[in-house]
Amino acid sequence: MPADDGQLISVNLWRPLAAPRGLVQVVHGLSEHAARYERFAAACTARNLTVVAHDHRGHGVACTAEALGHFADDAGWDKVIADVRVVNAAVRKEFEDRPLAMLGHSMGSYIAQSFVMRHPGAVDALVLSGSTYAPRLQLRLGQFAAWLESKRHDKKHRSPLLNKQAFGAFNQRFEPARTAFDWLSRDTREVDRYLADPHCGAVPSAQLWLDLIGGLLEIGTTRALRSVPADLPVLITGGSNDPVGGRRGMARLAARWTHTGHENVTLNLFDDARHEMLNETNRDEFTRFVIDWIDQSTA
């Protein structure tokens, strides 16, 4: 479907056989794509939920190799959030009387938070998977490094330095590691599937890092959090051994939401699991838990 600026958004839609009793909008993470959520969508449609998931700019099977990992030269974060709104509005229009839960994973969890902050009331429940709350000083340092790389090279530069700063330490707790992406999951077959996917693992551009860090700084403010309705059900969930957030990062995030007056925040961690819960060894348990929570929160 067309974005606000005319760029085409690649959208996946999975429908149950019967009329759906609810909707799930998936917002995928960095350097992956929406089609990877097909197994989760199958579990949802079996429970009579329609699932929609689109590819962000610079991501997905319709994206050229040259464009992978780059939102836009300018205002990339705003354009990504606007694309989420376009998809959200389309499914809301088609299924206007059905409740909608949004599931954002990793970078998608930050995008989802930005979306609900800019568009209060657009979702009926929010699931944040593999998320964290990053200290602002850490973000400012990363922002400066990304700005420096964009000036030394250009906005589309794929910086090994920034990539190492962002992901270099993630595998350390899993040494001796079999691959550079052991931190994603304990399931070696899923890690290998990620490695073999030409649309996964792209090194982000310097400008994408600037967009992402700017978005993180935006959603971390008290004012932004308080723009979200206080009664919105929020689930913060993931693996306790996730190097992106894990037990401490997700606990900090939950504390921020409750501190700003949100009265329906649930924190649930899965012991020893890593970053991609939907591709973990206990993914079926996680999937059932998330769908059950969505059912209860949108009933």
In sequence order, the 6+-apart residues with CB closer than 8 A to the CB of 68 are 58, 59, 199, 202
> Residues 91-95: what's their mean pLDDT?
94
pTM: 0.97
pLDDT of residue 229: 97
Predicted confidence (pLDDT) per residue in 194-225, tens digit: 999 999 999 999 999 999 999 999 999 999 99
Predicted confidence (pLDDT) per residue in 12-37, tens digit: 999 999 999 999 999 999 999 999 99
* Coarse DSSP helix, strand, coil percentages of the chain, rounded to the nearest 5 percent: 45, 15, 40
Average pLDDT value for the chain: 96
pLDDT band (50, 70, 90) for residue 164: confident
Three-state SS string over 232-263 comes to CCEEEEEECCCCCCHHHHHHHHHHHHHHCCCC
Quote the tokens at residue 183.
């931190």
Helix residue ranges, H only, the chain:
38-46, 76-94, 107-118, 136-152, 160-167, 188-196, 206-219, 222-226, 246-259, 283-298
Quote the tokens at residue 219.
């959603």
pLDDT of residue 89: 97
Predicted confidence (pLDDT) per residue in 38-56, tens digit: 999 999 999 999 999 999 9
DSSP state of 56: P
pLDDT of residue 37: 98
Backbone angles phi, psi at 110, to 5 degrees: -75, -40
Q: Which CATH class is domain 11-134+220-298?
A: alpha beta
pLDDT band (50, 70, 90) for residue 168: confident
Asked if 206 contacts 150 with a C-beta cutoff of 8 angstroms, the reply is: yes
Q: Taking 90 as the threshold, does the pLDDT of residue 148 lie above it?
A: yes
Predicted confidence (pLDDT) per residue in 102-138, tens digit: 999 999 999 999 999 999 999 999 999 999 998 999 9
pLDDT of residue 161: 87
For helices 206-219 and 160-167, give the axis angle rounded to 10 degrees. Answer: 40
In sequence order, the 6+-apart residues with CB closer than 8 A to the CB of 293 are 125, 127, 235, 266
Asked if 130 contacts 275 with a C-beta cutoff of 8 angstroms, the reply is: yes
Query: Side-chain half-sphere of 268: how many Cα atoms within 13 Å?
Result: 15
Position with higher pLDDT, 213 vs 65: 213
